[in-house]
Every structure is written in C-alpha cells, then in structure tokens.
Amino acid sequence: MARRQAPAPVVDTTPYTENIVDIDVTSEMEGSFLEYAYSVIYSRALPDARDGLKPVQRRILYMMSDMGLRPDRGHVKSARVVGEVMGKLHPHGDAAIYDAMVRMAQDFSLRLPLIDGHGNFGSLDDGPAAPRYTEARLAPAALTLTSHLDEDVVDFVPNYDNQLTQPDVLPAAFPNLLVNGATGIAVGMATNMAPHNLVEVIAAARHLIANPEAGLDDLMRFVPGPDLPSGGRIVGLDGIRDAYATGRGSFKTRAKVEVEQLSARRTGLVVTELPYMVGPEKVIEKIKDAVNAKKLTGISDIVDLTDRKNGLRLVIELKNGFNPNAVLQQLYRYTPMEDSFGINNVTLVDGQPQTLGLVDLLTVYVNHRIDVVRRRTVFRLGKKKDRLHLVEGLLIAIVDIDEVIQIIRSSDEAAAARERLMSIYDLTEIQANYILELRLRQLTKYSRIELEKEQDELRREIAELEAILNSEDLLRSVVSDELAAIAEEHGTPRRTILLESEAVSPTVAAELAGTNGKKAKAAPLALEIADDPCWAILTASGQIGRTSNQEPLAEAGPRNKHDVFTSVVKTSARGEIAAVTSQGRMLRLQVMDMPALPPVAGLPNLAGGVPAKEFLTLLKGETLVAFVSLDEVLAIGTAQGVVKRVQPDYPLNREDWEVITLKDKDVVVGVAPAAGDDSDLVFLTAQAQLLTFAASAVRPQGRTAGGMAGIKLAAGDRVAFFGVVQPSDEAAVVVTIAGTNGALPGTAPGTAKVTPFSEYPSKGRATAGVRAHRFLKGEDTLLLAWAGHGPAKASSAAGVARSLPQEHGRRDGSGVPLSQAVDAIGPAMAWADPA
C-alpha cells in the first residue's frame, strides 16, 4: 500500500509591514484592573439597594418564576434550575449558582427564606448535598419579589449573549435587603448587612412613606435593631445606632443560655440559641480546645442533643462546686458563644457602590417601590383603555350585527370590509380589525347588557387608576397598603432579644456587686463557689436543697402544697452532713452536691429543691427522716419505742453505714442532736401518750448497737413522734391533732391542741408516760404530733404555713376543732420548728 504524501507547504511571499504599538504598562494595568473591579462590584458581589439581591440571586429567582416553580406546585431537581440559570442568564460556574441558591433556602441564613428546599440543604456545620439530590421551588415570600414582572414595572436588559432579556431589578414587594441582609466581598470593598424583622422594617417604611422627612430617631422606634434568624441576644445598642446613622458599626451577639438542674446532683448550662452563623459543632470544638488548654475550668462534659423536633439544645455539664454564671462568663470569653457582627452597608445605588444608613436604605427602597407601582398603574391603565376602546366599537356593531355580517360577506376582501365598517359605523381601524377577527361562535356570548356592564366597570377602573397617577398622596397610600398586606401575610415575631447592656440577674448582681456600690460588671464572678455558711434543708414532701446564705430561715417562702421544713442543719457550702433514713442507715452527703435554693423575696424557695429519691439511693420503702451533723451526739427514736444515743464515731472511707440495729418491722421515726445530758427526750405515741425523760438516762452507744427501751407501748400503739427539747426553752410547746384512723386525712373533722411543754412531767425511761390529748367521739388516734420550740405552724393546702393558737388548759384535755385552729384549711400535713 502506497504511503500518502503530505502536500508541500505554501510559502507566502507577499511582503508585510511590521506595526508595533508602544503601550504604557501602568495605564493598561490601571484600566484593566478598574474594568475588572467594576465588573466584580456591579455584576457579582454587591447587592442592589432596591431589591437587595446580587445578580446571581436575581437571575435564580427570575428563572424559577419563569419556569413556573410556584409554592403550589411540585419541587424540581436543583440541578435543573442551576442548568437553566447557567445556560440562559448567568455565564459562570454551576457551583457558584448552586451556592447562592442554597443560601436563599437556609432558614438559619435568611430571616425570610426565598426558596423552599426539599432535601439536605446543609447546616451551619455541614455543606449541602449535591444539586442532583436536592429539589427546590419558590417560597411564598419570593413570589412577592417577582410579582407583576409582566406589567412593565421594571426595565429588562439583554443577557450575556443578547438572545434573551432579564430584569435589571425585581419589583420587590418588601424591603428584602434589610429583612434578609447581605454579605459579599468585591474588589476593594465588602458588604455585611444584618437581617431584620419584616414587620418592623415594613412599619418603618410605611412611616417614611407617610412622613418623607422622618429622621433616624423616628425610624428606630420601629426598627430598634437586627433580628437574627438564629435568635440569641444582642448586647449593647450603641454600635447599632452608629450603623443606622453612618452605615458602619458593630454589635455583640450572645447565645441564649439557661442554668438548669440536669439531675439531682448535676447542674448544667443549656444552650438553645447561638449567635448568627455559629454552629454547635464549632462551639463544641472550641470548648474542648479551651478545656484542654486549661483556659476553661469547671466543665465535666458537653452533649449535643439537637434534633429537628426540639431544635438546638447544647447541654454543658458542670462540675460540682463551680459557679454556673462564672463558667458562663468564661464561655463567652473563650468560645463563639459570644461573637461580634460588623455592619458595613455597602450597596449599589444607580450602579454605584455607596454606604447607606437606615434612612437612606429605606428611602431608596420606597422610591423604587413607588416607581414600580406607578409603572404598573400606567401599564394597567393602558390595558383598560385599550379594552374599553374595543368594547365601545363592539357595542356600536352589535346593535346591527346582521348588517355588519352582510357587509363583511358582501366585501371582496378584508381590507374592503374594514373600510366599509369604518365609514359606515365611524369605527377606528383597531375596532374594525377586532370585529373582523371575531369568530362566529364568539357572537353567542355577547349581549348588549353584558357589554354595557363591562364598559361601566372599565370606566370605573380607569378613573381609579388615573386618580392614583394624578395624586402623589394616593400613590403613596397604595404602596403603604400593599406593604401592610405583606407584613400581615409573612410577618413573624421577633426572635432576637435586644439588651442595652449586659443582662445581670439579681443573684448574679449580688455576687458581682461589692459593698462599695460599684457597678456589677466592675469585678468578675468568683469561679468556684465559696465555702460560705448555709442551711441544708429537708422538707415534709421529701424535697432537699441548700440555701445560698446563712440568713435565719422563714416559713413563708414559695413551696409545694402541704410542705414545711422538717429538718434543718447549719453547715457550709463545701461541708459534709449526714442523712438518717427510716431503715437506720446514715448516708454521707456533700453539701455542694445539693441543689441551691435561690431566694425569692429574701425567703428560701422550697419548690426549687429535688426529691430525695432522685438525689440518694434509697432502699425499697425507705424514706429520709432527718439531716444531721457528722460531729454531734444524736438521739434516735423508733416506732417500737426504742431510744439510742450514738457517738459521732463514723467510718471515714464509707458513704453509708448503719447507725442503729433495728428489730424486725421497726423503723426510725425521729433523729435529733442530744449532746448535753440535760436535754429532754420526748416520745409521742399514736394513742396520745407522751413520755419525756432526761438524755442522761440513755448512755451513748456505738453505731452498731440496737439501743434500749425508751417508752412502754400499749397493745397496738406505736410512736408517732420522737424529738429533743431543751429544758431552758420556755417557749417549747406540744402540738397534737386527733382524728380517726379509718378516714382519709382531711375527710373527717378533728381537733388540734397546743400545750406548753412545761406542763408535762418528766417520767422514767421505759415507762408509759402521761396522757397528752383526750379523744372525743369519733377520734381514736393522733394524726400528727410534734414537740419543740413554739409557736408551732401548720402547712395549709395552699402551701402557706399558718400559726396555731396556744390553747392553755389541762394537758390531757381535748383540743379545739381543727377548723377553728387553722381557719378551716383541713388537717395539716406536717409540723415544723420555725426557728
């Protein structure tokens, strides 16, 4: 096979003239750079002050509107939208188009999302899925931005290849730039605008429409500050005012954090809102880094419980002994839980970048909207006049429709028929053409009455449109009413809380402020809780807690129903106490682990405690009897009448131990300090027997001893109360409430009795004692009994401690009706020593 020969090259022998042009490199670079910079500023990075959109965002919304992707129709693949925008309007990469589309669908980026996304459109910590996986359509708010584009409300400009046209700006029925904010980096300039609340911005715009000379202070009454999609708190408003006045400023945002009792022993900080564009994973990472670097202390764990149902929930567990408010201050300092936002309102006005304040931004938008409504009115007026012109011609022809048909049929061509109609009926060329173009089947729907009705309606609408064009006030009123309708339909409540300065609770203020009267923020909070004196409290309903100070306790603080103090121990915040249970066990407690009871109006909040069964591991059927000190001699009384004084010789390496060995079916009913031999031990039984004897009659024993006989019980009787009374206490009283054993508490009347303790004689240990309450008819037991420092108080059904009157008389006499004693509040549920 012969090889193919390449043709010989043709040599051009025509002489040419070399032309070298000298160009100044400096001038060329300046011109090229300025052209590039202007292209980036105008065509990419900066939003237009009128509709608040960058070119790519505007093209996406316009193309989706052109594709018919309305909210009432199905979603389509995002890749299809990106392809349409890239092929027809936006000659850039698909990644840039998709990124812009994703941001308009993220409810954490925009205050009022413009695209309804279906699928994974990303989060603050993760990117979105590929466009082939996600779907999208226009959100309801986006329809208001693109509405009336077919009514010549804005100018259209050619696309990049001059084959199609696109809107130069969208009609924008609401101030999108202020509502959704904007961010972009151009050449030599950047914009960063915060989102705002739609209702507030529209209210300011309407005020500006009604009062064109309104100043900044007037508008800030409606727009006090940004409203971020993620909520949170804005601390300090001076920077916001600077931004509204000059277009530049900054403000500080903080997470929304609550101090919660995560469990009976654990306190935590619960984060439910984060600063704008800060994700939980970023916060967790920064907290871990700060803890590892030993910048943050007091944090034991951090758990992200965020889900779609409950939203953001970041739980930061704290170590015992650390002040939650002080740890929170550290978190604000070292993590993104406190962030700053710099406002830079650089936008395009007539194609030129300008830095605008709040008044100028709203003025530009209002002028744009007035122009849109004016152009729409002109367009509609023209349409109405054209239709009226045709209806008037048809009315002329329909009077003699048969002759009109005969003229058309007898004419050789359409032009002749048009001329004859115009000359005979004095019609214009447009009217004649309209009659000629009518189909015969259209004549069935026409009637003179219907046409005259349409004519009147058109004339009325034309008069209204002309009135709008002839009156600037009426035109502004139309714009204002349309804005009000948008706010009514799409407005939502404010999410971000605005704080003039750092919010300080009364508790924190008390911790921060000194006695010299300086401002609270002058000194940082102490990180670890000081070992201050406090009270450890056990209540009748089984609630436990500690007070935050050493003030004398009172019985009038908030509480649960039928709740009072049953055991109170003076200790310190970092001290140890013990709890004695009904099974004779003693449990070691760290006071720091107990929940603090924040005071309400200076009184301890009993309702703020936690149930003992959640704080301690109790056996089946076991209850807490009392809190005691670990360094005092204790007196213990049981239901079967056993008494014991125990020495404070407890094991140091154990958390719980037996403090008394109980007989079968016996339980501890009372525990009290009894260090002195002159103290009086008191037993009160269910059958109203009272026995008191000196503590010296009971020698102190070891913790494993079983005690000794305290009171001799009759058959079927049991001990209802055991306590210790100091003989020097002249105000000591004995309080008893009698009732029937067969009725539920509060369902049968009973009698209450208060007697001075001094009236009861001391008897020997292991005797039966004396009668303390004479039962009336229908009474067979003591429902409640108590002895101690008076006056006694009873807890009512409303949770309020009521004082009982002292009824002097025979110690073994009957009591007064319970309704008279405590104002008909029903039987008391517990007794307590108010001291």
The two structure tokens encoding residue 679: 């103290």
d(CA 612, CA 609): 9
Tokens of 808: 């002097």
Cα dihedral 759, 760, 761, 764 in deg (nearest 10)? -170
Query: What residues does 538 pair with on adjacent strands?
Result: 544, 567
Query: 787: which residues sit within 8 A by CB, 6+ positions away?
Result: 682, 684, 690, 721, 723, 725, 732, 733, 734, 735, 757
Q: Which residues of 544-572 are buried (b: 16+ CB within 10 A; e: fewer)?
A: bbbbbeeeebebebbbeebbbbbbbbebb
For residues 177 and 365, the answer to whether their CB atoms sit within 8 Å is yes
**Structure-token pair, residue 823:** 């104002």
Cα 275 vs. chain centroid, distance in angstroms? 12
Orientation of helix 448-470 relative to helix 472-490, angle to 10°: 100
Q: Give bridge partners of residue 185 from the DSSP assignment.
A: 190
> In whole angstroms, what is the distance from residue 559 CA to residue 543 CA?
10
| Residues 691, 683: Cα–Cα separation, whole Å | 5
- 3-state SS assignment for residue 60: helix
- Tell me how far apart the alpha carbons of residues 559 and 605 are, in angstroms, rounded to a whole number: 6
Which residues have C-beta within 8 Å of that of residue 543, sequence separation ≥ 6? 537, 560, 563, 606, 607, 609, 610, 611, 612
User: β-strands 233-235, 497-499: how paired?
Assistant: parallel
Closest CA to 235 of 332, 335, 104: 332
Catalytic residue among 16, 133, 334, 650, which? Answer: 133
CA distance linking residue 176 with residue 365, whole number of Å: 9
Tell me the residue type at 93: G
CB 745 within 8 A of CB 829: yes
Task: Give the C-alpha separation, 615 to 62, whole Å.
Answer: 62
From the CB of residue 667, how many other CB atoms can be counted at a distance below 10 Å? 19
Q: One-letter amino acid identity for 682?
A: V
Token pair for 58: 């505007």
- The strand pairing partners of 736, in sequence order, are 753, 785
Residues 40 and 348: beta-carbon distance below 8 Å: no
Helix (H) or strand (E) holding 478: helix 472-490
Query: Is there a catalytic annotation at residue 244?
Result: no
Q: Are 682 and 786 in contact (CB under 8 A)?
A: no
Whether the ω angle into residue 140 lies within 30 degrees of 0, i.e. cis, is no
Residue corresponding to tokens 């720091």: 592
Contact 530, 590 (CB under 8 A): no
**Catalytic positions, please?**
133
